[in-house]
Each structure stands twice: as structure tokens, then as C-alpha cells.
Amino acid sequence: MSDSSNPSSAQPSSEVVRWLQSLALPLWARGVLVIVFLAVMLGGLGLVVWAVFNRDKESMTAAISLLTVALPVSLIVIGLVFGQRSEKRLANITHTILDKLIPQQVQEIACQSRKLQLTPLLRTGCRATYTLTAQQGHNSLKSPLRFSVELNVRKVNVMFSLPDAIQPAGPLDKNPALSAYQHVIAGAQAEGYRLNSELAEYGGEDGGRALLFFRALPDDFLLRPMEKLYFTQDLGFLYAASLKHRKQPHPLQLHPLQNSHEQ
């Protein structure tokens, strides 16, 4: 006997729903599905009410059987009708994480105890840029710190910019030229981030050489509140550790890692 509590037992049905969601149904077809679905559900409910008032056991049994079949089918109908807009929903959730959750957690974890102020600068698609500055009357941060996050559906990219004076040669991990950043590397790797084997080279406003980190996100990450909270809290603690243990006088800047730079 299969264990219904096992998450793998629900995999076939979820795969069917995902396959159905990938179908590009025209508007009229989705309208027909909604009409048929409402007709079946309302007919079944009406039959139940009629059977209760007339004490007709056979009609009651037939109505319950109809609803028992209609309820699972309704999940498929919902997936077909409303799944057509799932891309927009995922994009909206991504924007919410970048615009609200990340600034909130970084402000609470990394900024409050250090008298810093986080200010969102710009968000373009799945990429957001922020700046950290010292609050008025405090010198907890000598120069503004700018960082960006690029959040894809299944992957996050983070970049730590290096001062021009640092020119590491050879493997980046345990590199003597990056001794001031070993706590950043170790902390990121402990949280599941992978260090890119080469430095990133950026031009324009995102210029500079940088340590590149990236990691995969859990399946359905954007739809799971616990995973989103853990991710944003983890970023807050990572940035707090970077501020606490900084040994270089240069400002530490974080930028997103573009997919084309990943090794």
C-alpha cells in the first residue's frame, strides 16, 4: 500500500497539473471550462439541497457521487484557467521579495544595531540595487555601501566588489590577497553558495572586479513563505557579518551575478 503522506505520492498529480498549465488555451476555451465547471458544481449542490428537503436517499447518493468526482476535476480546471497567468504572479512575488522582504530583513538584522540606513535605489525586473549609509550623527560606515541582488525563479546571484588594489592571482579560495574576505567566502559557502572560479568584470556603473557567488533555490521557492523568509534572513545575516568583520578601509559593494558569468 502506498503511503499518502509521502510527498513523492503527490508528484504524478502535480506533474499533470503543471503539464496542463503549460497548455496555451485560447480565451474562449477557458470560458467554456468555467461554464461547464460551474454548471456541474451548482447542479450537484442543487441536487443535494433538493434531496435533503425531499428526503430522497437515492438522489442524495447521486449528488454526493457527482461532487466527489467534480472536486478533484475542479483543481485541473483551476490550473488550466488561472495557470495561464502564473508567469505574472511569479514575477509579482519576485518583485515583492526584492522591494519589501529583502530591505526589511537587511534593515532589521544588519542595520539597526549599527545605526545604518538602507535605501532602495533601483529595481529592474528581477534585479534590485540598494545602498547602506550611516544614520545622521553616526560614523558607523565611512562611505556608502551599495549592493544588488538578482533573483531568478530557481537561482540567486550575489556579487561582492573588490577594491582596485586587490589583485588576486590563482585560485580564489584561500587566496592570500583575499585574506580580508575569507569570512565572507566561508560564510557564503556555509550557506550553500558556490564561489565562481573567476572574478567578474563589470563596466559602467557596475564596474569593478568582484567575487561571484550563486546558489540554486528550492523547488517552488517563490510559493513557499518559509523558504522566502529563510532566504531573506540569511542575506541579512550575511551582510551583517560582512559589515562586522570588514578589515579593509574600502567600501564593500555587492552586485548581482549575471548568468553569463557563471562557470
pLDDT digits (tens, 9 = 90+) for 27-67: 777 777 778 778 877 877 887 888 888 887 787 787 777 77
Of 27, 55, 85, the domain-final residue: 85
Return the percentage of the chain with pLDDT > 70, whole number: 73
| Residue 171 included in any domain | yes
| Domain range for 68 | 7-85
Query: Are 25 and 101 in a shared domain?
Result: no
Q: What is the pLDDT of residue 236?
A: 86
pLDDT in tens, 96-141: 999 999 999 999 888 888 888 888 888 888 888 888 888 887 777 7
Regarding whether 75 and 116 lie in a shared domain, the answer is no
Residue 178 and residue 56 in one domain: no
Within a domain: 2: no
Domain contains 204: yes
Residue 109 and residue 72 share a domain: no
Using the 3D structure, point to which of 85, 101, 129 is the last residue of a domain.
Answer: 85
Do 166 and 63 belong together in one domain? no
Domain count across the chain:
2
Single residue among 85, 102, 121 that ends a domain in this structure: 85
Residue 45 lies inside a defined structural domain of this protein: yes
Residues 80, 195: one domain? no
What is the full DSSP assignment across the chain?
A: ---TTSGGGGHHHHHHHHHHHTS---HHHHHHHHHHHHHHHHHHHHHHHHHHHHT-HHHHHHHHHHHHHHHHHHHHHHHHHHGGGHHHHHHHHHHHIIIIIHHHHHIIIIIGGGTEEEEEEEEETTEEEEEEEEPTT--S-SS-EEEEEEE-SSEEEEEEE--TT----S-STT-GGGGGGHHHHHHHHHTT-EE-SS-EEE-GGG-EEEEEEEEE--TTGGG-HHHHHHHHHHHHHHHHHHHHT--SSSPPEEEPPPGGG--
Give this prediction's pTM: 0.64
